[in-house]
Structure 1
Amino acid sequence: MQGKSFPALVLIAILALVVSNSLYIVDETERAIKLRFGQIVESDIQPGLHFKIPVLNTIRKFDARVLTMDARPQRYLTLEKKAVIVDSFIKWRIASVQAYYEATSGDELVAARLLAPRVDEGLRNQFGERTMYEVVSGERDEIMNELTSKLNEITKAELGIEIRDIRVKRIDLPPEVSHAVYERMNTERQREAREHRSQGKELAEGIRADADRQKQIILAEAFRESERIRGEGDAIAASTYAKAYQQDPEFYSFVRSLEAYRNTFNSKDDIMVLEPDSDFFNYMKQYDRTQ
């Protein structure tokens, strides 16, 4: 029994190996072609489970997703012969698997080498037809859309590649020009700064002069108001004094004399020279010592 079962196991193993080599799977993100001794027998195989003849057929799979190629910065001349350094990138995908394989042998590096000069030539032509302002800010989207449309037709026919988008990451001036431009911009900004500073000083002087004028007006009005109030107060005080004096002139005169004595003899260092019969000492002379 053991001698009969061994050939059966070998046969099963061979059948399993043949079946495993006959089936293959193409992923959703891939496209594939079937080759027979290097010749394409089936192109653009869609995702799913497929069958092949072992040994005779070879399957080549390619990434069907949108890929990115980062181009090297290149120097271009604008319409007015001004040099710019352009850094760009390309979005592309396989449109025809057979054409892509025949043109690049399925190698992405080869595809990139074939795409780069075409994109470079297209950008050079587009920049050469426009001014510096147009390529920097005015018509950049129009340039990219027009270039993408033109190159897409060429690469589809020649390389089996669909160009989805071409974009410029940045545009710089050459190093020898950048320094001069920077110096000119710096000079312009310094001139503008001086103008703004002088305008600010002129405005500050005007504000300061107006503030000083308003200060003088406010002080004059305040002094006038204080003098008016003081005059009204003095008038009321004089009227009050007059009324009090009319009620008792003698007592009023006595109080005023006391205030005069207090103010006069307030300091011990003061010296006053008066005649003894002066009216200043009137109430002193009337003082009776015997009382």
Structure 2
Amino acid sequence: MRAMYVIPALVVLGALALSSIFIVDERKKALVLQFGQVTQVKEEPGLGFKIPFVQEVVYYEDRILGLQTNPLEVTMLDDRRLVVDAFSRWRIVNLVEFREAVGTGGETQALRRLEGIVNPAIQEVLGSVPSNRVTSEDRTGLMNQIRDIARRQAAALGIEVIDVRLTRTDLPEQNLEATFARMRAEREREAADEIARGGEAAQRVRAAADRTVVELTSDARRQAEVVRGEADAERNRILAEAYGRDTEFFAFIRSLSAYEASLKGANSSIVMQPDSEFFDYLRSDQAPGAAPATPAPATPSP
């Protein structure tokens, strides 16, 4: 009979012992709460103990967490507007203050509270500088200012803000379209100027080429006329010399030239007397007044 009560008692005691033990992972931190009040803080990994059914364990992240802010429109010192978003890294450093600040919301509630701190810090810092400094590559100083402001304000939440980085700094959509249109018009104007300058240069090159062609053609014609005149003079000299040496041969050449000129056409017709001197070289194989050719003596056949 006594064994029948011992076994259930051992089971109950084992269950109570197991329910009084909790394990903290190396990536976590834990708070032991009793009726909503913090009774124990467990930040080191390992085993922990609590009162079963009276105390509860709430776990929180011990790792570095990230926050991506929503796009925020900021007015710069030069009245230009930019759409800015940032990425922040943070971690929980004081579990008791963190629990009191966010309640049962945990890390989700902390993200909303932290974004409400980072966004005003971004507006405060970026609103005090011109837009060209925000859009430049060297803006580490601005991000450090935002981090310091957010770190001071987030300390009341038991949170340490490790870093804040600006991930985007763009113009608003309507300003972006106007900027693109202005840039496009500027590029089109520059292209039109380049085309006009190119056309002017091409016209100058074309005019210079035309002038060079005219000059070269005129010089070539002048040289051709000179050569042609010299050739005609040489021809006349040769003809005159030939005429002086052999009058009959000169008359023969003149007659052949006259025959060629008069009979050149396809349907040439000549009407003149048969005994005209024009046909003297056509009627005989000898020139007029030339001595008849002496026939060669006949060679006797064998």
Q: CA deviation at 1:44?
A: 2.8
One-letter amino acid of the structure 1 residue matched with residue 101 of structure 2: A
Q: Which residue of 2 aligns with 1:261?
A: 259
Distance verdict in 2 for CA 1:120–1:274, change over 3 Å: farther
Q: CA deviation at 1:118?
A: 1.9
Q: Which residue of 2 aligns with 1:26?
A: 25
- Partner secondary structure for residue 162 of structure 1: strand
One-letter amino acid of the structure 2 residue matched with residue 170 of structure 1: T
Query: Is it true that 1:126 corresponds to 2:148 in the alignment?
Result: no
Q: Distance in 1 between matches of 2:8 and 2:90?
A: 47
Q: Which residue of 1 aligns with 2:81?
A: 84
Query: Is it true that 1:61 corresponds to 2:60 in the alignment?
Result: yes
Q: CA deviation at 1:39?
A: 0.6
Q: Distance in 1 between matches of 2:6 and 2:233?
A: 144
Q: CA deviation at 1:225?
A: 6.5
8 A contact 1:23–1:50 mirrored in 2: yes
Which protein has the larger Cα radius of gyration, Structure 1 or Structure 2?
2
Q: Which residue of 2 aligns with 1:93?
A: 90
Q: CA deviation at 1:162?
A: 2.0
Q: Distance in 2 between matches of 1:233 and 1:101?
A: 119
Distance verdict in 2 for CA 1:165–1:110, change over 3 Å: same
One-letter amino acid of the structure 2 residue matched with residue 58 of structure 1: V
Query: Is it true that 1:281 corresponds to 2:279 in the alignment?
Result: yes
Q: CA deviation at 1:167?
A: 0.8
Counting only pairs closer than 5 Å after superposition, residues 1-291 of structure 1 correspond to structure 2 as: 11=10, 15=14, 18-19=17-18, 22-27=21-26, 30-37=27-34, 38-46=37-45, 49-53=46-50, 55=52, 56-62=55-61, 64-71=63-70, 73-80=71-78, 82-98=79-95, 99-105=97-103, 107-137=106-136, 140-173=139-172, 175=174, 184-185=182-183, 187-220=185-218, 223=221, 254=252, 257-258=255-256, 261-262=259-260, 264-272=262-270, 280-287=278-285
Residues 123-176 of structure 1 show CA distances to partners (whole Å, capped at 9, x for unaligned) of 22222211232333376443223222332343245441323222141322473x
Q: Distance in 2 between matches of 1:283 and 1:10?
A: 163
Q: Distance in 2 between matches of 1:163 and 1:216?
A: 81
Question: Does 196-205 or 232-241 show the bigger shift?
Answer: 232-241
Q: CA deviation at 1:116?
A: 2.0
Structure 2's unaligned 5+ residue stretches are 287-302
One-letter amino acid of the structure 2 residue matched with residue 34 of structure 1: L
One-letter amino acid of the structure 2 residue matched with residue 111 of structure 1: A
Count of aligned pairs between the two proteins? 280
Distance verdict in 2 for CA 1:248–1:119, change over 3 Å: farther
Q: Which residue of 1 aligns with 2:295?
A: none
Residues 202-254 of structure 1 show CA distances to partners (whole Å, capped at 9, x for unaligned) of 22222222232333344445556666777888899899999999998867865
Distance verdict in 2 for CA 1:23–1:118, change over 3 Å: closer
Q: Distance in 1 between matches of 2:9 and 2:229?
A: 135
Q: Which residue of 1 aligns with 2:299?
A: none
Q: Distance in 2 between matches of 1:34 and 1:14?
A: 24
One-letter amino acid of the structure 2 residue matched with residue 84 of structure 1: R
Distance verdict in 2 for CA 1:132–1:162, change over 3 Å: closer
Distance verdict in 2 for CA 1:261–1:125, change over 3 Å: same
How well do the aligned residues superpose, as a CA RMSD in angstroms? 4.5
One-letter amino acid of the structure 1 residue matched with residue 41 of structure 2: E
Question: Does 230-239 or 49-58 show the bigger shift?
Answer: 230-239
Distance verdict in 2 for CA 1:53–1:213, change over 3 Å: same
- Partner secondary structure for residue 167 of structure 1: strand
8 A contact 1:126–1:147 mirrored in 2: yes
